[in-house]
Amino acid sequence: MTKTGPIKHARRALLWLGVIIIALSAVLVSGVATNQSTFAPKLALDLEGGTQMILSPKVQGGADINQEQLEQAVKIIRQRVDGSGVSEAEITTQSGRNVVVSMPGVPDEKTRELIQASANMEFRPVIKAGSWDPLPKAERTPAKDLPDPKKEPENGSDTNWIDAELQKKFEAYDCTAELAKQDIEPADPEKPMIACDPDQHVKYILGPVAIPGTDIADATSGMQQSQQGFNTGQWVVNLEFNGEGTTKFREVTERLVGMQGAQNQFAIVLDGRVLSAPTTNALIADGKAEISGNFTEESAKALAEKLKYGALPISFEIQSSQQISATLGADQLRMGLIAGIIGLVLVALYSFFQYRLLGFVTIFSLVVAGILTYLAIVLLGWAQNYRLSLAGIAGIIVSIGLTADSFIVYFERIRDELRDGRSLPSAVETGWKRAKHTILASKAVNLLAAVVLYIVAVGGVKGFAFTLGLTALADLLVVFLFTHPTLQLLATTRFFGEGHRLSGLDPSLLGAEPLYRGAGRVRTYRPTPAPSKRNASASKEAERRQTIAERRQAAARSGSGQSSATKENDNA
């Protein structure tokens, strides 16, 4: 019964590890088969090269740009780029005015638009909605029949904002032509405007700005939840305003909820284009709104990103765009891989020297950890556009030694138990109970260091911290699901269980102090002192204090049988 439990546990753990590797491999193969991924990890800017775009700022109102605006622009552009899933991008300033964006690969049109989108985001109430295309001249309202209000508008939704000139312009407004323009002149926030919704193919007359985009605190996308807490299966955008925006939003929704038709809508406008014009279904007093509609996951996420990162006081245009070569290139990548192979070979040589054939467990454990890390990096590149940089490769190389240290701690703990007279199966189980706490504490420190480094660092250091943390997690998975179960199975074999000289568990070798004592400590040379009368006296005293088992063990090693002191104690 004592062997059945550990063996069953070992087989179950190895089965789970196999299921994890097969599942991850199947996901990767499906991605490659559908041309959504490749078997090779994506490389960062320093290894692959990419695209460099120089952005020229355009301040609203034609004013000069100041340093505070530029710093805010760099911060928000970095958030936009990171939010779009591009990894390892570099955003810097040039000549105190321009912004230089360098990113791996070739950015798609969506990313380009997101980078240069201005912060001219506004929330305006809808006064009137109409056809996307301009009305034929024959169908336009004659000038004499156009409304010419005499009353001052009472609020942003009042139809008195529409005069004869605005009505005539609205009927003749060609959305297709207007949206094709590169630049759209910003509208006066205190006056109504005409804007188009390219997704719904509707044009609107909008009232004055009710809430500026700077009052947005956060915006996220997610699945809609019913009042009972069930998932409805529809994608929505969740919008949250700051304190000032909450007050304004409450006043607007209180007015709009009682209106009919288009006047019940509230338009979100970015650079003169309507992103969305949701209807108002209730008074919202807490500043948290939900925008629903025919959203897909991609469109909901895109709208949330524009809302969240839209508060930029400067608009940009791409002044120049060019391909840049890798700053490090294939030579540095090759040298990094060679360094990793050398480190792996040195760990293998040490393992075989110190643990004989038990070193194969270390080698196979490192191979399994490498497979898990590789699959994670490639799949993260597909799902999150993660890119491997040279700093990330350095983190993987460093992790080889940290991972091997976990195995050494475990092996030495097993040897300690064998020295105490336990059988190998018992030593494996007892040694594991004591070693796993040390391993967990060590990996917790590694993960904490990686997390802190990732949070406070910038640039390539983040790549180092990320792979360091990723490999620490892979190490824990391997130790628990491969290394320990493998030793449980090996303990039942005759070769390891009986302590063959090549097994690394030979009793004649267990009395020696190990060459490597873990945590970077190496056995040091200590010369044997010359015998003296004092030493001889101390030796006799130590021999007198030995237990019977210790004296018998010493006699067996010397080959002289039992000592006289042992015989006297036996006779006594």
User: Domain total for the chain?
Assistant: 3
Locate 568 and state its tokens: 């006297």
pLDDT at 26: 95
Across the beta sheet with 50-59, what order do the strands follow? Answer: 90-94, 98-104, 50-59, 314-324
Write b or e for each residue in 156-186: b if 16 or more Cβ atoms lie within 10 A of its Cβ, otherwise e. bbbeebbeeebbeebbebebeeeeeeeeeeb
What are the residue ranges in the chain where pLDDT is below 50?
Answer: 1-2, 182, 512-514, 528, 530-535, 537-538, 541, 545, 560-572
Final residue before a domain boundary, out of 267, 298, 324: 324
Q: 138 with 278, same domain?
A: yes
Q: 223 with 297, same domain?
A: yes
| Residue 514 covered by a domain | yes
CATH code of the domain covering residue 82: 3.30.70.3400
- The residue segments making up the domain with residue 126 are 118-306
pLDDT at 540: 53
Q: 180 with 134, same domain?
A: yes
Work out the number of other CB atoms within 10 angstroms of the CB of residue 62.
Answer: 6
Q: 110 with 236, same domain?
A: no
| Residue 49 covered by a domain | yes
Q: Which residues pair with 204 in a beta bridge?
A: 129, 195
- DSSP secondary structure, 307-326, as one string: HHT---SEEEEEEEEEEE--
CATH code of the domain covering residue 295: 3.30.1360.200
Q: 148 with 259, same domain?
A: yes
| Residue 390 covered by a domain | yes
Q: 30 with 130, same domain?
A: no
Final residue before a domain boundary, out of 496, 518, 540: 518
Q: 340 with 264, same domain?
A: no
| DSSP-based three-state secondary structure for 411 | helix
Considering only CA atoms, which of 370, 235, 373 is closest in space to residue 304?
235
pLDDT at 227: 74
265 contacts 278 by C-beta, under 8 angstroms: yes
Please, which residues have CB within 8 angstroms of residue 280's CB and are 6 or more apart in sequence?
Answer: 252, 253, 256, 257, 259, 264, 265, 266
How confident is the prediction for the chain on average, in pLDDT?
80
pLDDT at 336: 79
Locate 286 and state its tokens: 């807490």
| Residue 541 covered by a domain | no
pLDDT at 1: 41
| Residue 313 covered by a domain | no
| DSSP-based three-state secondary structure for 231 | strand
Tell me if the pTM is above 0.85. no
pLDDT at 340: 85
| Residue 556 covered by a domain | no
CA 404/CA 351 separation, integer angstroms: 9
Q: 111 with 122, same domain?
A: no
C-alpha neighbours within 13 Å on the C-beta side of residue 435: 25
| Residue 302 covered by a domain | yes
**pLDDT tens-digit readout, 37-83:** 899 998 887 788 888 888 887 665 555 666 766 776 777 777 667 66
pLDDT at 541: 46
| Residue 498 covered by a domain | yes
Q: 159 with 75, same domain?
A: no
Q: 404 with 277, same domain?
A: no
**pLDDT tens-digit readout, 3-42:** 567 899 999 999 999 999 999 999 999 999 998 889 999 8
Q: 212 with 223, same domain?
A: yes
CA 270/CA 121 separation, integer angstroms: 4
Final residue before a domain boundary, out of 499, 518, 537: 518
CATH code of the domain covering residue 356: 1.20.1640.10
Q: 389 with 448, same domain?
A: yes
